[in-house]
């Protein structure tokens, strides 16, 4: 009886030990599964748990060896086939679960290693975006001092490079989103969502300002280039106009043709003044902004000098047209006077014929003849003088004082 009691107590103790170990293994498996499936912790914390589980798995496998020992003892001492079969099935099931769990832990550990790499890469790319933003803000916050077209073109080149950098930033944000999605599939993204939003906001805010500044600078550079080209072309035009004004070709033309040409030149001068003023005003608008300023007074001065040169040319051409007008008036007066003299010559010649007629001979005929001839000669001389005057007026294109 005593032996039976001892064996009973031993069998009971073995069965108790079996289920204690079984519960320990089962609890560990359940806790491991919870840790593996938990998406609410960041990868660093998950990595720590997985390392701990891997370390614990050795003890759990040792415990499973004890479980098998106790289970085999129970099977050996059991006289019922169904009990033996149930015990073996229980051991096989816990082995399957344990093996599967350890495999999942190892796979999860490898995945988390990759996720930690994704996390590190996310932060690396995030830092690139932040550094880009800081560098760009230094450019955008600086008011541009432009004292020459070359400086404007250089600044425009800097902004063009900055605009091209937006492509790289877009690529970086795309990479951050990709890494974020990878991390989010496995565990909590933690503060990465805030970092991603921050990076996207930096890009949007800087992009808007950059495009506005770049467009403004592009317009300024184009206006400046047009202004300098206009100044250069107008200076050349003034030079050519003076050459035309003093040319033999112009002076050889009829006075009325000269006058028509010069009146057209006056209209062209007025148009050139308007264009220079408009070009200067359009350029100056850009220097009154919060983005650009200049300390070069020659920009306005050059425009003013050209306008003064145009005004001088206008005065010179206008004076020439006035002279032509007066000369034409004098020519018309001379032509009218010639007409009158010719009529008088005709009258005097008629009178001379009457004097020489045999029907009108008298004692004073000879005297009257001489006086009449003298008047005709005087009129002819005056006529020649007026013709000479007309020729001089036509040659000089200016009135006789």
Domain parsing of the chain, residue ranges: 1-115, 326-357+367-396
What does the alpha-carbon distance between residue 26 and residue 90 come to, in Å, rounded to a whole number? 11
Q: What are the beta bridge partners of residue 145?
A: 293
For 315-363, the pLDDT digits (tens) are 999 998 998 888 888 888 888 888 988 898 888 888 778 777 766 566 6
pLDDT bin (cut points 50, 70, 90) of residue 131 is very high
Per-residue DSSP letter, 145: E
Residue 294 has pLDDT above 80, yes or no: no
Q: What is the pLDDT of residue 80?
A: 81
- Residue 187, φ and ψ in degrees, nearest 5: -155, -175
| Residues 159 and 210: beta-carbon distance below 8 Å | yes
For 74-116, the pLDDT digits (tens) are 888 877 888 889 999 999 999 999 999 999 999 999 999 999 9
Using DSSP's 3-state secondary structure scheme, residue 104 falls into helix
What does the alpha-carbon distance between residue 192 and residue 206 come to, in Å, rounded to a whole number? 21
**Torsion 333-334-337-338 (CA) sign:** negative
What does the alpha-carbon distance between residue 220 and residue 104 come to, in Å, rounded to a whole number? 64
- Residue 290, φ and ψ in degrees, nearest 5: -90, 5
Smallest CA-to-CA distance from 397 within 337, 315, 319 is with 319
The arrangement of secondary structure in 1-115, i.e. its CATH architecture, is Up-down Bundle (1.20)
Q: What is the pLDDT of residue 359?
A: 64
Work out the end-to-end distance of the chain between its first and last CA atoms, rounded to an integer number of angstroms.
166
Residues 6 or more apart whose CB falls under 8 angstroms from that of 320 comprise 245, 262, 397
What does the alpha-carbon distance between residue 200 and residue 190 come to, in Å, rounded to a whole number? 17
| Residues 215 and 163: beta-carbon distance below 8 Å | no
What does the alpha-carbon distance between residue 62 and residue 15 come to, in Å, rounded to a whole number? 18
What b/e readout covers 80-100, taking b as 16+ CB neighbours within 10 angstroms?
eeeebeebeebbeebeebbee
Q: Is 151 exposed, middle or buried (0-12, 13-18, 19+ CB in 10 A)?
A: middle
- Report the chain's C-alpha Rg in angstroms: 56
Using DSSP's 3-state secondary structure scheme, residue 292 falls into strand
Enclosing H/E stretch for 362: none
What does the alpha-carbon distance between residue 175 and residue 204 come to, in Å, rounded to a whole number? 17
For 199-246, the pLDDT digits (tens) are 999 999 999 989 988 998 898 899 989 999 999 999 999 999 999 998
Smallest CA-to-CA distance from 250 within 238, 232, 265, 229 is with 265
Count the Cβ atoms, other than its own, within 10 Å of residue 224. Answer: 24
pLDDT bin (cut points 50, 70, 90) of residue 1 is low
| Residues 292 and 144: beta-carbon distance below 8 Å | yes
What does the alpha-carbon distance between residue 11 and residue 3 come to, in Å, rounded to a whole number? 12
Name the average pLDDT for the chain: 88
Considering only residues 248 and 171, tell me which one the structure prediction assigns the higher pLDDT. 171
Smallest CA-to-CA distance from 280 within 249, 308, 243 is with 308
Considering only residues 11 and 183, tell me which one the structure prediction assigns the higher pLDDT. 183
Smallest CA-to-CA distance from 266 within 231, 284, 241 is with 241
Lowest-pLDDT choice from 103-107, 250-254, 288-292, 388-392: 288-292
For 155-166, the pLDDT digits (tens) are 899 999 999 999
Considering only residues 306 and 143, tell me which one the structure prediction assigns the higher pLDDT. 306
Per-residue DSSP letter, 148: S
Enclosing H/E stretch for 37: helix 2-37
**Number of helical H runs and strand E runs in the chain:** 9, 2
Residue 300 has pLDDT above 60, yes or no: yes
């Amino acid at each position: 009886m005593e032996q039976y009691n001892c064996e009973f107590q031993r069998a009971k103790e073995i069965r108790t030990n079996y289920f204690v170990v079984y519960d320990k293994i089962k609890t560990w498996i359940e806790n491991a599964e919870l840790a593996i499936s938990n998406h609410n912790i960041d990868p660093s914390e998950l990595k720590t748990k997985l390392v701990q589980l891997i370390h614990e798995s050795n003890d759990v496998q040792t415990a499973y060896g004890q479980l098998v020992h106790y289970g085999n003892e129970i099977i050996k001492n059991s006289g019922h086939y169904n009990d033996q079969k149930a015990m073996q099935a229980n051991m096989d099931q816990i082995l399957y679960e344990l093996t599967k769990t350890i495999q999942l832990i190892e796979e999860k550990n490898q995945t988390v290693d990759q996720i930690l790499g994704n996390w590190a890469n996310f932060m690396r790319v995030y830092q690139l975006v932040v550094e880009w933003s800081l560098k760009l803000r230094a450019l955008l916050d600086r008011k541009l001092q432009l004292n020459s077209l070359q400086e404007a073109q250089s600044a425009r080149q800097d902004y063009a490079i900055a605009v091209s950098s937006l492509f790289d930033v877009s690529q970086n944000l795309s990479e951050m989103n990709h890494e974020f999605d990878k991390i989010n599939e496995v565990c909590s993204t933690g503060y990465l969502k805030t970092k991603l939003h921050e990076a996207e906001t930096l890009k949007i805010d800087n992009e808007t300002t950059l495009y506005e500044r770049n467009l403004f600078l592009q317009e300024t550079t184009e206006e400046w280039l047009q202004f300098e080209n206009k100044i250069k072309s107008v200076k050349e035009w003034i030079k050519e106009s003076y050459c035309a004004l003093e040319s033999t070709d112009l002076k050889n033309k009829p006075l009325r043709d000269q006058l028509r040409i010069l009146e057209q030149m006056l209209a062209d001068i007025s148009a050139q003044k308007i264009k220079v003023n408009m070009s200067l005003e359009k350029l100056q608008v850009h220097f009154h902004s919060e983005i650009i300023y200049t300390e070069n007074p020659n920009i306005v001065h050059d425009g003013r000098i050209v306008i003064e040169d145009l005004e001088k040319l206008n005065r010179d051409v206008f004076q020439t047209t006035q002279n032509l007008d007066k000369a034409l008036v004098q020519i018309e007066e001379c032509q009218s006077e010639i007409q009158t003299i010719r009529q008088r010559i005709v009258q005097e010649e008629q009178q001379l014929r009457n004097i020489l007629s045999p029907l009108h001979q008298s004692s004073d005929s000879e005297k009257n003849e001489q006086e009449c001839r003298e008047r005709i000669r005087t009129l002819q001389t005056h006529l020649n003088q007026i013709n000479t005057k007309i020729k001089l007026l036509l040659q000089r294109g200016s009135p006789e004082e």
